[in-house]
Amino acid sequence: MKNYDLNEKLKEIDEVIKEGLFDDTWESLSDYRVPEWYDKMRFGIFIHYGVFSVPAFGCEWYPRLMYEKEMVDCYEHHLKTYGKQSEFGYKDFIPMFKAEKFDADEWIKAFKEAGAQYVIPVAEHHDGFQMYETELSSFNSVDMGPHKNILGELKEACEKEDIIFGASSHRIEHYFFMGTGRTIESDINREFERGELYWPSVYAKVDFDAIEKDGSPSEEFMQDWLVRTCEIIDKYKPNILYFDWWIHRTELKPYLRKMLAYFYNKAAREGRGVVVNYKHDAIPFNIAVPDIERGQLASQKPFKWQSDTAMCFNSWCYTEGNKYKETKDILCDLIDIISKNGTLLLNIGPKADGTFSDEETLILKQIGEWMKVNREAVFDTKPYKIFGEGETKVVEGAFKDGEVKGFTSSDFRFLAGCGCIYIAAMRPAENGIYDIKSFARKQGAFNCGISEIKMLGSEEKAEFKHTEEKLEIITKGSEENDDPIVFKLII
């Protein structure tokens, strides 16, 4: 087990903050500005890959649920497949995690072909296994399992393809994540030292969505969280740092401020603009970029925001029972999000051997094919003065993607760029006719002449009628698929 001087590491962090532009106060951190390059982000790829990919059952919470009797499916599956939790614990999956077919270059090329501008791999998930070379614990992908620096190789591949590199830390949730192992006869029923995989595995029946009191992380764990996060900043220099929900804990705030000041100061010293993604109200507004997990916003916003969701409904990691979304619905979400000044972070969950499922491979391919046709409407635009129209309503908030929204050919989203306006029909109309009321020719709406309208991907100009009631676009109809189509309106 690796040992390090925690106090010495904390002292080094304080020195960087002391010498930098930002103090570890909310007042000082309020001087932060989102970099210009991030304002241009529209589409990124999230990656959930780790030891939990080996059992490939349930979801990425398998490391916790396999010890929880109340979660019958995972608990019983583990007993039947691997034996008692006291004889085969989560740690015993590590030698089975070989990543023998992992190829960072091939992954990043596939993401780039799909149109991704940025990639955020999970550096450490709730399970506590680090997917990178580290001085702080032996439980990492270089010293164990695949013996590969997964995060480091992905960073190098991103740099080759000129893709923005980020990293995701879910470390803070590890405080309680493996604690269910203490409720049964298991390999977690002893005390552990800092640096061990199962440390600290605190068990308590509390509401872990609470912001304070019950379930408070210990001082040592929060210090260790800060040191681990700063190590990622130093070793891998991500342009984006993504955090899961538990950083909203009140007790963590002093360490959260230190992390932000350290990150922003290091980036300023290196002449880089960086971004932190957070959920809920973990960080005061305008100090970082808010993220909505598996959800969207109902209206256009004057600030940049991110929606993160997965290619499947039930899990972030690969499982043999994943229920995948249809590409057309993912594309509709993308258009809706960017019309409201957001960016979509779409997750993929590779198999333990480092390959993608056939379903996710197909989704990437189909997104890429759509992007080739409609790229200018996605990347060369900004939100229009209104985001769109239609009867299908987007319910605002997190965890709303369990049901398909059911967009129709009467639902439209608007974007503007290069002196043009782009009108995206969320579904093709069978008769080829599209009525857009927001562009009716009357004072206060769209009282402007239209030179021509083109459907992206088509050589032909679309016919149109511009009246005081609506803008009617007439095409031949009979589209080959049900993906959104985009019209370029030239004034």
Quote the pLDDT of residue 2.
83
User: pLDDT by residue (tens digit) across 107-152?
Assistant: 999 999 999 999 999 999 999 999 999 999 999 999 999 999 999 9
The confidence score (pLDDT) of residue 207 equals: 85
- Under the banding of pLDDT at 50, 70 and 90, the label for residue 213 is confident
Beta strands in 80-228 (DSSP E): 118-124, 164-169
User: How do 275-278 and 240-243 pair as beta strands?
Assistant: parallel
**Helix pair angle (150-160, 104-113), 10° resolution:** 50
Residue 208 has pLDDT above 90, yes or no: no
Residue 209, pLDDT score? 86
What is the pLDDT, as a whole number, of residue 137? 98
Phi, psi of 410 (to 5 degrees): -100, 0
Asked if the model's pLDDT at residue 3 lies above 90, the reply is: no
Report the SS3 class of residue 479: coil
Structure tokens at 113: 């072909």
Structure-token pair, residue 413: 């989203």
**Model confidence band, residue 478 (pLDDT cutoffs 50, 70, 90):** low
Q: 214-240: string of b/e by CB count within 10 Å (b at 16+)?
A: ebbbeeebbbbbbbbbbbbbebbebbb
State the average pLDDT for the chain.
Answer: 96
Residue 481, pLDDT score? 86
The structural domains of the chain, ordered by start, are 6-293 (3.20.20.80), 382-490 (2.60.40.1180)
| Beta carbons of 223 and 10 less than 8 angstroms apart | yes
Whether residue 298 is predicted with pLDDT greater than 80 in this model: the reply is: yes
**pLDDT tens digits along 408-460:** 999 999 999 999 999 999 999 999 999 999 999 887 778 889 999 999 999 88
Percent of the chain whose predicted confidence (pLDDT) is above 70: 99
Residues 90-119, mean pLDDT to the nearest whole number = 98
Whole-number pLDDT of residue 57: 98
CB 196 within 8 A of CB 139: yes
Q: Which two tokens stand for residue 96?
A: 């089975």
Q: How confident is the model at residue 394 (pLDDT cuts 50, 70, 90)?
A: very high
> What is the per-residue pLDDT across 258-297, written as a single tens digit (0 to 9) for each?
999 999 999 999 999 999 999 999 999 999 999 999 999 9
- Check pLDDT > 90 for residue 380: yes
